[in-house]
Amino acid sequence: MIRRERHERWMRRALSVASTSPRDVPVGAVVLGPDGAELAAAGNERELTGDPTAHAEVLALRRAAAAVGEWRLDGCTLVVTLEPCTMCAGALVLARIATVVFGAWEPKTGAVGSLWDVVRDPRLNHRPEVYGGVLDDECGDLMRGFFRDRDA
């Protein structure tokens, strides 16, 4: 019960980050240190920067690495509102993230259990713990609302 409450609290923070960019797909990511302190947060910035790799997860990982002064994020947790894609799943494995907590499942591009399961591939040298579907409804509603409003 305590873990679930902690994951939900962290996901609410990621949801608040996701809502900050009105032009981009509303995905928010937060990296927490081993002690649970927030190291970095980011929303998608692809539209803002014109950078196809400016996904919330990648930006949060970069900022967290800068905050700790190295690329290895051992013991850290990545919390993100949408199941990571293959690029982001690969990046979090390479960063040695210990735990991934995500909200909405992404059956079209998800790489943490939906379409692929990059993070649990036994051929890789690092496999984080995964908790999916945390505040799934709220995270999914944010995505559906964005696309409904955009396509209206």
Please state the residue numbers annotated as binding site.
55, 85, 88
Residues 6+ apart with CB under 8 A from 2: none
Annotated binding site for Zn(2+): 55, 85, 88
Q: What are phi and psi of 13, to 5 degrees?
A: -65, -45
- Strand 129-131 with 38-43, pairing: unpaired
Quick one: three-class SS letters along 25-82? CCCEEEEECCCCCEEEEEECCHHHHCCCCCCHHHHHHHHHHHHHCCCCCCCCEEEEEE
Residue 75 — left, alpha, or beta (φ > 0 → left; ψ -120 to 50 → alpha)? left
- Per annotation, catalytic residue among 45, 57, 83, 106: 57
Active-site residue flag, 138: no
Extract the tokens encoding 19.
């809502």
In single-letter form, the type of residue at position 33 comes to G
Enumerate the active-site residues. Answer: 57
